[in-house]
């Protein structure tokens, strides 16, 4: 079946550092890929998405590129802020409205 | 504020208790979901309701019983739970297009933190 693998956290960075959170997937066909973010005490929010190979999703300074050749969708941000501290989930959708999530990566940004 | 509310936000119950979790969406969506979020485990989809009919049940134990009385409300009835059922239970909703296989964004509530003693 489909699966998503993320780097384990926590990832601890200083403010203004460069962020990469790795995500790879296994799926048949041509899934859509997503990054969700969960701030403390809240539910998940869609951060960005990409629906086909070589698409780049972007939002709030975050970017991720759909790489079919490496089955990856790594999340990047050039300069993180304390307010970016949260748990980030990579996910895929292969049919209908069902999502398959990765295990989540906690990001902690220190001032 | 995502338009999906959940009550209670925190719940502590014994293994012999019966309780219910409530979810309400104010977005006019026609599909609702229950997820379980446990520490160090991927998010698990438990149940899906589309147009008030259950369309997905991912091998969830019968001690969890969902109910969807209308498109805006979703309940999860709990009875004789086990300590390993302690987790964050998340509700989500989305708008599904009839006959469409495309993905529509799911909007999540803040969750109910459940502790089973």
Tell me the chain B residues in contact with residue A46 when contact means C-beta distances shorter than 8 Å: 105-106
Count of residues making up chain B: 117
Residues forming beta bridges with residue A24, ordered by sequence position = A5, A72
User: B42, A43: Cβ pair inside 8 Å?
Assistant: no
User: A104, B42: Cβ pair inside 8 Å?
Assistant: yes
In this predicted model, what pLDDT tens digit does every residue of A5-33 receive, in sequence order?
Answer: 998 889 999 999 999 999 999 998 889 99
Work out the pLDDT band at B97, boundaries 50, 70, 90: low
Q: Is-cis flag, bond preceding B8, omega within 30?
A: yes
Does residue B112 contact residue B23 with C-beta atoms inside 8 Å? no
In this predicted model, what pLDDT tens digit does every residue of A39-86 receive, in sequence order?
Answer: 988 889 999 999 999 999 999 999 999 999 999 999 999 999 999 999
Q: What integer pLDDT is reported at residue B102 of this predicted model?
A: 60
Q: What integer pLDDT is reported at residue B39 of this predicted model?
A: 82
Average pLDDT across chain A, whole number:
93
DSSP state of B84: G
pLDDT surpasses 60 at B100: no
Does residue A81 contact residue A33 with C-beta atoms inside 8 Å? no
Q: Which two tokens stand for residue B98?
A: 């009839």
In this predicted model, what pLDDT tens digit does every residue of B11-51 receive, in sequence order?
Answer: 999 888 899 999 999 999 999 999 999 887 888 899 999 87
pLDDT surpasses 80 at A97: no
Work out the pLDDT band at B56, boundaries 50, 70, 90: confident
In this predicted model, what pLDDT tens digit does every residue of B75-87 receive, in sequence order?
Answer: 999 999 999 999 9
Q: What integer pLDDT is reported at residue B2 of this predicted model?
A: 75
By C-alpha distance, the chain B residue nearest A30 is B102
CB-CB neighbours of A74 under 10 Å: 18
Tell me the chain B residues in contact with residue A42 when contact means C-beta distances shorter than 8 Å: 110-111
Which of A2, A32, A43 is most worth mutating to test chain B (most B CB atoms within 10 A of its CB)? A43
CB-CB neighbours of A98 under 10 Å: 17
Nearest Cα to Cα of residue B84 among B42, B39, B46, B23? B39
Q: What integer pLDDT is reported at residue B98 of this predicted model?
A: 60
Q: What integer pLDDT is reported at residue B76 of this predicted model?
A: 97
Which of A96, A101, A103 is most worth mutating to test chain B (most B CB atoms within 10 A of its CB)? A96
Does residue A76 contact residue A19 with C-beta atoms inside 8 Å? yes
Interatomic CA distance for residues A73 and B106, integer angstroms: 20
At A73, is the secondary structure helix, strand, or coil?
coil
Residues forming beta bridges with residue A32, ordered by sequence position = A93
User: A43, B110: Cβ pair inside 8 Å?
Assistant: yes
């Amino acid at each position: 079946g489909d699966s998503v693998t993320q780097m384990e956290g926590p990832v601890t960075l200083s403010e203004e550092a460069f962020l990469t959170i790795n995500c790879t997937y296994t799926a048949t066909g041509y899934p859509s890929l997503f990054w969700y973010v969960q701030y403390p005490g809240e539910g998940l929010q869609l951060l960005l998405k990409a629906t086909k190979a070589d698409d780049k999703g972007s939002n709030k300074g975050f970017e991720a590129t759909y790489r079919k050749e490496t089955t990856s969708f790594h999340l990047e941000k050039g300069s993180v802020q304390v307010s970016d501290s949260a748990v980030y989930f990579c996910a895929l959708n292969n049919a209908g409205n069902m999502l398959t999530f990765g295990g989540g990566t906690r990001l902690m940004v220190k001032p | 504020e995502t338009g999906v509310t959940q009550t209670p936000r925190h719940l502590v119950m014994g293994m012999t208790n019966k309780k219910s979790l409530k979810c309400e969406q104010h977005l006019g969506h026609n599909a609702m979901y229950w997820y379980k979020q446990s520490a160090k485990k991927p998010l698990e989809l438990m149940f899906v309701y589309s147009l008030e009919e259950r369309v997905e049940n991912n091998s969830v134990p019968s001690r969890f019983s969902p109910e969807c009385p209308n498109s805006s409300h979703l309940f999860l009835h709990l009875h004789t739970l086990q300590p390993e059922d302690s987790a964050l239970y998340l509700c989500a909703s989305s708008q599904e297009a009839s006959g469409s296989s495309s993905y529509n964004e799911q909007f999540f509530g803040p969750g109910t933190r459940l502790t089973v003693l």
